[in-house]
Structure 1
Amino acid sequence: MLRILFGADDLARVRVAERPDMSMELSLSVHALVNGLRDPRFEAWRDHLRASWSPRTALLFDLFTPSAIPEFLTVRRDPGATESATAATPEAPLREHLRAVGGERQLSAFARGVAAGERRAREVLGHVTAEYQTQAIDPYRRQIETIVTTEHGRRRRLTEPDRVLGSLHPAVSWRRPVLSFPLANGCRHDVRLDGRGLLLQPCVFGPRRPVIARFEDPSQQPVLLYPARIGGPLRAEPEPAPSRTLTALLGQTRAAALESVAVHGPCSTKELAARLGVSTASASEHATVLADSGLTVKGRTGRTVTHRLTPLGEALLAGHLPALGAGRESA
């Protein structure tokens, strides 16, 4: 049994995530494969994955056990950035996680190399994570985002923290000031929030019962991962990728930012950062360059800055730029 103990200020700091955590979605999806869980909603996903599977991607399985899920795998919008970020994971979380894996079974040569900080093993880890992302996550991004944002809206309408916590999952019991649910291994563990509050993160690939993450570091807000409501089968729906010409002109991230604003409509800097898989500061910098170039325009709703496409941005995406030099030649 896991018991999450709320202090006097913790209820006011409970919130439901507005967007998916793609890094966790990737880890949880691998965990589902490791555990061999069957669910009709994921059959099309499994079939698509089976058809495009690279044998080397199975190295990721060496980092998992039925009860151990790594929290250090990193997903970015661009798989190249995923590869770099995952390969550069700090050693402490890697070693701590793999020590736990080693307590359940013998580590593979690959896992031992990752735990030892071997450069080649780290490079392979980054590569296989990025490769798996392109197969298992990227084609489903829009559907995952829709499922999670819908779940956020559903929970947000409940308004009161007691109602939110009491309706999370059939296995979850909420009796102030304790939220509790059974653990898969039958152990008992208490987690004290101590003023950190709790982030409720709906997950598409989440296990059938909630899982708590990021609770051991007192500087981090604990995250309770719980299965989001999925209406139907998960099916591949690739996002339109920016053209090579647009990418060469603007760069990978700015081209993706412009495409995102075009596809999803006006958005805040925070929303843009989540879609791109970059920090808010980085998203703000890219958005400023796009605005200064006349491709987007900034607006303000209350204290929130929003970004929307301009006619010039639409023309650039459509490949129909105005002939800017025509007037000079005829003059």
Structure 2
Amino acid sequence: MLRIHFADADLGRTRVATRPDPLWEIAASLHRLQSRKGGWAFAGWSRMARQQLREKGLERRVREVLLRLYPRAEYFPDFLTPSNALHGFEAGVESILATPPQRILQEVARLDRTVGAPAWVGRLAEPAMRRELVDLLRAYHEAVVVPYEDEVHAKLEAERAARCRGILDGGVEGMLTTLGPMMRWRPPVLEVSYPTQAPDRDLYLRGRGLTLVPSYFNWAEPVAFADPQLPPVLWYSMLHEPPAEGGDGAGKPLTALLGRARAIALYATSAGATTGEIARAAGVSASSASRHATALRDAGLITTVRQGPAVLHTLTPVGAAMLRAAVRGAGPGLA
């Protein structure tokens, strides 16, 4: 559990990123290659990524270099995902190149203590080695992240729209209450379900505010910098809807339990959704979406409030717990 402590000043300085973080998407996509969790959501990307890495001759270097630097574990070095990457890929890699050698050595030593690291990792303190790493990151990014940029941007805009709705309804605190299913706002603390192997810790914002960065490739593992002195940033996953019946996610437990349309409706309401938005997400008529919402509401999984001519459906604590469990325990895929 990560507990992020807000002061009054932090609420006014909290924002949602306006663009994806390319270096974090690299890190999170490498984690997808190391895990079966969420495989149903990334099966198509996984096939494409593995084919691209083979065709471009990157498989060995990714396996021997990147997967060792970005282990799916409780820690990987903070300098690999600098906050400047929110300004774009080139800004991010410039920050990597400019990282002080002493900081790199400290973070590499922590990586070695946590999960082990090959001896060559320490040489990243040398500028020439970091330039080689940046060249590999660029090749990997162009091969397996850039092909999905349009989809990533589209999901980010949808996520920002949902968060803006929370701000309009209840200010920043109202927005923080809609961040489930992996986060829970208990004023003045945002409780974040951290990777299970990571120890519990507290992050005090102390007037710096928090930058929330929705991530396409992150899967149910919100992450902040390990160093509390760095700018407060929280990367968290954008939910992926269950795929069409007969696709890569057929038989997924939540879909099997609720049916595909109601499972999608439950996912959609995690960010707050109108009946029309549920209908579009599930590919059903408005009347069918209304019936699905009614069934979920009668089961105590969602709640509904009227906003002018429309109604807004949001998760209840029971619905959030069900979705949180489904995200954590998503079945095996191809990663």
Work out whether the TM-score is over 0.5.
yes
Tell which structure's C-alpha radius of gyration is larger: 1
Identify, as 1 or 2, the structure richer in helix.
2
Alignment equivalent of 1:230, drawn from 231, 235, 240: 240
After superposition, the C-alpha distances for 1:131-190 in whole angstroms (9 at most, x for unaligned) are 111112111112111111111011101112222111212232211111113332252211
After superposition, the C-alpha distances for 1:181-239 in whole angstroms (9 at most, x for unaligned) are 33322522111111011111111011313222376226x3x111111133477xxxxxx
* Overall identity of the aligned pairs, in %: 29
Higher relative contact order (CA 8 A, sep 6+): 2
Cα distance change on mapping 1:199 and 1:86 into 2, 3 Å: closer
- Tell me the TM-score normalised to structure 1 length: 0.61
Unaligned runs of 5+ in 2: 244-335
Matched, 1:140 2:152: no
Query: SS of the counterpart of 1:49?
Result: helix
Aligned length in residues: 229
Matched, 1:188 2:200: yes
- Tell me the TM-score normalised to structure 2 length: 0.61
Alignment equivalent of 2:162, drawn from 154, 168, 192: 154
Cα distance change on mapping 1:49 and 1:216 into 2, 3 Å: same
Give the Å deviation of 1:41: 2.1
After superposition, the C-alpha distances for 1:29-87 in whole angstroms (9 at most, x for unaligned) are 11232344342221111111111211112211121231223443476999888776644
Query: SS of the counterpart of 2:34?
Result: helix
Give the Å deviation of 1:96: 3.0
Matched, 1:175 2:201: no
The 5 A counterparts of 1:81-230 are 86-114=96-124, 117-159=125-167, 160-183=171-194, 184-185=196-197, 187-213=199-225, 216-217=228-229, 220=231, 222-230=232-240
Q: Which amino acid is 2:181 matched to?
A: P
The 5 A counterparts of 1:178-327 are 178-183=189-194, 184-185=196-197, 187-213=199-225, 216-217=228-229, 220=231, 222-231=232-241
Cα distance change on mapping 1:83 and 1:105 into 2, 3 Å: same
CA contact (8 A) 1:2 1:182 kept: yes
Output the CA distance in 2 between the equivalents of 1:154 and 1:81. 28
The aligned counterpart of 1:297 is: none
Unaligned runs of 5+ in 1: 234-331
Output the CA distance in 1 between the equivalents of 2:88 and 2:158. 25
Q: Which moved more, 1:103-112 or 1:47-56?
A: 103-112
Cα distance change on mapping 1:70 and 1:144 into 2, 3 Å: farther
Cα distance change on mapping 1:105 and 1:229 into 2, 3 Å: closer
Give the Å deviation of 1:94: 2.4
CA contact (8 A) 2:19 2:86 kept: no
CA RMSD after TM alignment? 2.8
The aligned counterpart of 2:321 is: none
